[in-house]
Amino acid sequence: MVFDKPKSHMEVASLLFLNFLMVGCNKQHSGDLPAASTDWSRDILMTNLIVDLDSMRASADIVLAGSLASTGASFEIGDLIVEQVTSNATQLNFRTGQGRLDVGVPLSVQDQTLTIDYRFAIQDDFNGLLRSGATFIWPYYCGNLFPCRSEPAEGSSYSLMLEGVPDGATGLFPQSITMDVPAYMVGWAVASYSYQALGQTVNGTEVGVYYRAGEEQNALRGTRHLRDVFDWYEQTFGEYGFGQKVASVSVDWGGEAFGGIEHHPFWHIASGSMSDPVIHAHEAAHGWFGNGVRIGCWEDFVLSEGLASYLAARALEAVAGEAIGDQVWASYKNQLDSLQNSSENKIAWPQGCNEIDILEDGLFGTAPYMKGAFFFKHLESVLGSNRFDRLLRDFYRANRGGAVTLQALLTLIGEESDYDPAQCAQAWLRNEALPQVELCGY
């Protein structure tokens, strides 16, 4: 993800615990049904969503792993209004409050499906369904769209059906995501779109771009290398996991917002960034790293964003030439220099696991993107391009659909090569100052 929004909206309010409280419990209290209780550990296997944009109502069928030890299940629900929770047509006990839904779930060795009917609302601060028709739920606002768990390691497969799309508009969304992915990957965009196919990759993936009125020139300029970039990713790292048709999709984030977000297979690009090939290449890279392999902790954000930034530069150089690659790296160097001369957070890889608030503690900023990109460029310079590519390919294949940490990648590199990356990882990612070029250069 690459994202910035207008300065007037720079403060991101966490609504998970500031929403109005609603304490709901169904009217049926059978002695055979457990009371609602809190359990965040129940494994979510799949989430099937049916969303009606006309009525602003939705239904989520959430498949949970069976349990003979727990009669509870908990979900983040933001400001959703939960109307009922059922399983096999039986009303279950539930309670809501402070952005949380607790459900009483009967003991069962079999997987269980909870059907949660709810109402949702338009959001105004990049924290749910936006008035423009696109969703924005990264990093932890999925609960304003559907019952979920927002920690990145919590993966689930998904299906999505979108009803009530206005006449003349197109709803762009994945009907099915069969791989476990983070909740923030789920989303849609609804607007009046035109489509341009950009060609097929060697693997047969159709690559295209959706744009709105007046955007054709910028859209085609920004995606002129996208088919080749996507093909390079497939040939370098392996099979893409989210279908045979992919596209960049223009979305209206308002004002001077720029960047994109990785809603694969139809990733969103801010209208103001549609002409920028780097943004398109960056978001496409998340099909392998960030979504295809998701991060295990928020502190591992650099594994997603630093690696995607690095790969965007690598891919564009590979398909468009060395001069283009040099331009991208020069732009990155300018951003890195600006970071070092600012008061912005400069630590790209904090200690711990889910101990930080990625927004409030400043990790979402330039550091993981740019310091991460140059750290991975350092690894390429030490290992060689082909060897580093093979290690990334092995890492992707071994962890596809799973949640991993940056340390896991560093361990793999240390085990499969004669280079221990720990010292330079510390120098690039956990120190505020930049490392000495003679020790950790690129």
Last residue of one domain, picked from the residues 188, 210, 242: 188
CB 294 within 8 A of CB 181: yes
- CATH code at position 26: 2.60.40.1730
Its pTM surpasses 0.85 = yes
Strand partners of residue 251: 270
Concatenate the DSSP letters of all residues of 91-151 into one string.
EPPEEEETTEEEEE---BSS-EEEEEEEE--B-SSSSEE-TTSBEE-TTT-GGGTSSB--S
Contacts of 147 (CB under 8 A, 6+ apart): 47, 60, 62, 75, 76, 77, 80, 82, 101, 116, 118
CB 346 within 8 A of CB 371: yes
Last residue of one domain, picked from the residues 267, 287, 307: 287
Helix (H) or strand (E) holding 309: helix 301-320
Last residue of one domain, picked from the residues 156, 188, 220: 188
Q: Examine the domain organization and report whether 276 and 311 are in the same domain.
A: no
Looking at the structure of the chain, the number of domains it has is: 3
For residue 341, the enclosing domain spans 295-440
**Residue range 178-202: mean pLDDT, rounded:** 99
By three-state DSSP, how is residue 246 classified? strand
- To the nearest whole percent, how much of the chain has pLDDT over 90? 92
Which among 341, 185, 325 is positioned nearest to 265, based on CA atoms?
185
> What does the alpha-carbon distance between residue 68 and residue 71 come to, in Å, rounded to a whole number?
8
Burial of 169 (0-12, 13-18, 19+ CB in 10 A): middle
Q: Examine the domain organization and report whether 184 and 304 are in the same domain.
A: no
Q: Examine the domain organization and report whether 241 and 301 are in the same domain.
A: no
Instruction: Please give the pLDDT value at position 5.
Output: 57
pLDDT in tens, 82-102: 999 999 999 999 999 999 999
CA distances from 342 to 257, 337, 338 (A): 21, 9, 6
**Residue range 403-430: mean pLDDT, rounded:** 98
> What does the alpha-carbon distance between residue 406 and residue 307 come to, in Å, rounded to a whole number?
10
Instruction: Please give the pLDDT value at position 2.
Output: 80
- CATH code at position 406: 1.10.390.10
Q: Examine the domain organization and report whether 238 and 259 are in the same domain.
A: yes
Q: Examine the domain organization and report whether 429 and 281 are in the same domain.
A: no
By three-state DSSP, how is residue 61 classified? strand
Q: Examine the domain organization and report whether 26 and 166 are in the same domain.
A: yes
**Residue range 405-417: mean pLDDT, rounded:** 99
pLDDT in tens, 65-85: 999 999 999 999 999 999 999
